[in-house]
């Protein structure tokens, strides 16, 4: 088996390109397992600033299965996202073999996040594995990989200063919004969406003293979310949302429910936002009409935390509205102390090495078992020879059971005297051979990808 990961994130792409690439890719994991025979398992991580696909591929040493899987995935992503296969192939960073665990462990620990050290990603990694289980696309190797990633994330959180910083996209957004809002205990907030970021937003608002929190969901899940989080549900329908916005100081939109409607070939794509500029304008007009003693209403701050933008960018042109999206947050993400990052990376690197040794250790274990079996055969041979000599020497009575037990102990002691050193040598040699074999597969796959990208670049030139 060979592990492959394909990554598209804010580090490799601008957010607009990432949004286009991932607009329809959430079902790719299930599709690739069903349609690509060498792929034994797939797990997809899809968040507000990354899309990653982890594959467990049954690969012979010539690497054909790995090359086929990577090509096939690029085609599927292209088909589901509405981009060309060339764009999809060029957009992903592909990691294979021993590169994969270290990358995933870094992701789960928040070291690859837009806000370094953010803790929300750990929950997203766990949910990715849970969703793969539901879709029946995971595998034994991927189960172990993702469970180890979650343990490594906890280790980094507890063992470094990253765990106590409380960094997250939600916290960063609320800090930026707070500079333009009335104090949070007096602020009125509306959350659009009922997912993980909505829950994190409720917790972060409460931590800042905000108690007037309402939630809206176009899918009708607001009531259940409100009951479980002790907030107020807004009625369904666009007008209910407009009415709530007229009384709000802050909007946190994190539903990711924006729709793209693809017209016939050659026509432009029609986009439906969860919150469009016209709705924001109507809400501001109602807010202005309700102001009696003030010349104008307070500013409305909107945080759009969805990768597939919930909020029409033209809402920023409405008078009295401040719109912060992921690009704004990325530009304002704080730096992290170099020493803390080094400590976290050291923990991640050690975890990745241990994982790889365990994963590749199956061949080494087989070699050690063979060595132990050979040692037992040698012990049996020596005991048999010694028993034969004693039979002659102690004739006619022959050796007693005590004599034979002493012979066996002596033979086992002699054979096992240097066995530990030999086990270490055999295991190291087997691990090295497994790494060389996998490296050959990986190199073949990477050569194919480079060739494909070069061909795509020439054809599009």
**Per the annotation, does 119 bind a ligand?**
yes
- Map residue 237 onto helix, strand or coil: coil
Establish whether 48 is a catalytic residue: yes
Tell me: is residue 113 an annotated ligand-binding position.
yes
255 is in an annotated binding site: no
Q: 99 a known binding residue?
A: no
**CA dist., res. 23 & res. 258, Å (int):** 10
Please indicate if the annotation marks 208 as binding a ligand: no
User: Which residues have CB under 8 Å from 365's CB, separation 6+?
Assistant: 427
Q: Are strands 50-57 and 2-9 parallel, antiparallel or unpaired?
A: antiparallel
Alpha-carbon gap, residue 237 to 81, rounded angstroms: 28
Nearest to 204, CA basis, from 160, 153, 167: 167
- Give the Cβ contact number of residue 241 at 10 Å: 25
The conformation of residue 296, written as its DSSP 8-state character, comes to S
Please tell me whether 41 is known to bind a ligand: no
Tell whether residue 258 is among the known ligand binding residues.
no
Alpha helices in 136-209 (DSSP H): 140-159, 169-178, 196-207
* Nearest-angstrom CA–CA distance, 416 and 398: 27
Confirm or deny that 120 is annotated as ligand binding.
yes
In sequence order, which ranges of 296-337 are alpha helices (DSSP H)? 326-332
Ligand-binding site membership of 188 (annotated) = no
The two tokens of residue 249 are 């100081």
Q: Does 23 carry a binding-site annotation?
A: no
Q: What SS3 class is residue 197?
A: helix
| Annotated binding-site residue? 63 | no
Angle, nearest 10°, between helix axes 120-135 and 28-35? 40
Q: Is 110 within 8 Å of 153 (Cβ atoms)? A: yes
Q: Is 193 annotated as a binding residue?
A: yes
Q: Is 47 annotated as a binding residue?
A: yes
Q: How many CB atoms lie within 10 A of CB 121?
A: 25
Active site residue: 36, 48, 210, 254, which one? 48
The answer to whether the annotation marks 198 as part of a ligand binding site is yes
Q: What is the 8-class DSSP label of residue 231? A: -
Q: Are 165 and 224 in contact (CB under 8 A)?
A: no
Residue 208: helix, strand or coil by DSSP?
A: coil
Contacts 24+ apart (CB under 8 A), 258-267: 258/306, 258/308, 258/309, 258/310, 260/23, 260/82, 262/82
Q: Is 195 annotated as a binding residue?
A: yes
User: How many separate helices (H) and strands (E) can be counted in the chain?
Assistant: 16, 12
Length of the chain in residues, anyone? Answer: 461
Taking CA atoms, 143 is separated from 69, 125, 136, 138, 397, in Å, by 20, 12, 12, 7, 62
Q: How far is CA 144 from CA 56, 141, 150, in A?
A: 11, 5, 10
335, two tokens: 């730096």
Q: Cis check for the bond before 319: say yes or no (omega within 30 of 0).
A: no
Binding residues for NADP(+): 193-198
Give the residue numbers of the binding site: 47-50, 113, 118-120, 124, 193-198
Binding-site positions for substrate:
47-50, 113, 118-120, 124
The catalytic residues are 48
């Amino acid at each position: 088996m060979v592990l492959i990961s394909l990554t598209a994130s804010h580090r490799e792409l601008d957010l607009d390109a990432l949004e286009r690439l991932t607009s329809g890719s959430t079902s790719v994991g299930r599709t690739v397992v069903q349609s690509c025979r060498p792929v034994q398992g797939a797990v997809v991580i899809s968040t507000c600033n990354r899309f990653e696909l982890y594959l467990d591929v049954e690969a012979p040493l010539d690497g054909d299965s790995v090359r086929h899987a990577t090509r096939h995935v690029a085609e599927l992503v292209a088909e589901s996202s509405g981009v060309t296969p060339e764009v999809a192939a060029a957009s992903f960073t592909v990691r294979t073999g021993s590169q994969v665990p270290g990358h995933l462990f870094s992701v789960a620990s928040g070291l690859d996040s837009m806000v370094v050290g953010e803790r929300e990603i750990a929950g997203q990694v766990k949910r990715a594995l849970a969703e793969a289980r539901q879709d029946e696309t995971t595998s034994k190797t991927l189960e172990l990989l993702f469970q180890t990633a979650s343990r490594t994330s906890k280790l980094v959180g507890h063992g470094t200063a990253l765990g106590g910083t409380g960094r997250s996209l939600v916290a960063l957004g609320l800090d930026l919004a707070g500079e333009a809002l009335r104090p949070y205990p007096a602020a009125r907030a509306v959350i659009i969406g009922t997912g993980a970021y909505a829950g994190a937003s409720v917790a972060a608002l409460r931590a800042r003293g905000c108690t007037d929190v309402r939630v809206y969901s176009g899918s009708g899940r607001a009531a259940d979310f409100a009951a479980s989080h002790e907030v107020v549900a807004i009625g369904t329908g666009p007008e209910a949302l407009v009415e709530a916005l007229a009384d709000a100081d802050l909007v946190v939109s994190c539903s990711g429910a924006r729709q793209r409607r693809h017209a016939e070939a050659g026509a432009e794509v029609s986009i439906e936002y969860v919150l469009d500029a016209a709705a924001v304008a109507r809400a501001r007009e109602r807010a202005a009409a309700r102001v009696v003693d003030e010349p104008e209403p307070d500013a409305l701050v909107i945080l759009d935390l969805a990768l597939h933008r919930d909020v029409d960018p033209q809402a920023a042109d409405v008078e009295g509205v401040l719109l912060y999206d992921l690009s704004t947050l990325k530009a304002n993400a704080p730096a992290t102390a170099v020493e803390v990052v080094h400590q976290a990376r050291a923990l991640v690197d050690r975890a990745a090495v241990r994982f790889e040794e365990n994963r590749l250790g199956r061949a080494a274990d087989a070699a050690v078992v063979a060595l132990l079996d050979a040692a037992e055969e040698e012990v049996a041979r020596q005991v048999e020879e010694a028993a034969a000599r004693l039979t002659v020497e102690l004739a006619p009575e022959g050796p007693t059971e005590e004599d034979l037990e002493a012979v066996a102990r002596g033979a086992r002691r002699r054979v096992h005297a240097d066995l530990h050193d030999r086990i270490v040598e055999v295991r190291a040699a087997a691990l090295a051979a497994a790494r060389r074999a996998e490296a050959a597969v990986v190199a073949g796959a990477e050569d194919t990808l480079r060739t494909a990208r070069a061909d795509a670049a020439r054809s599009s030139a």
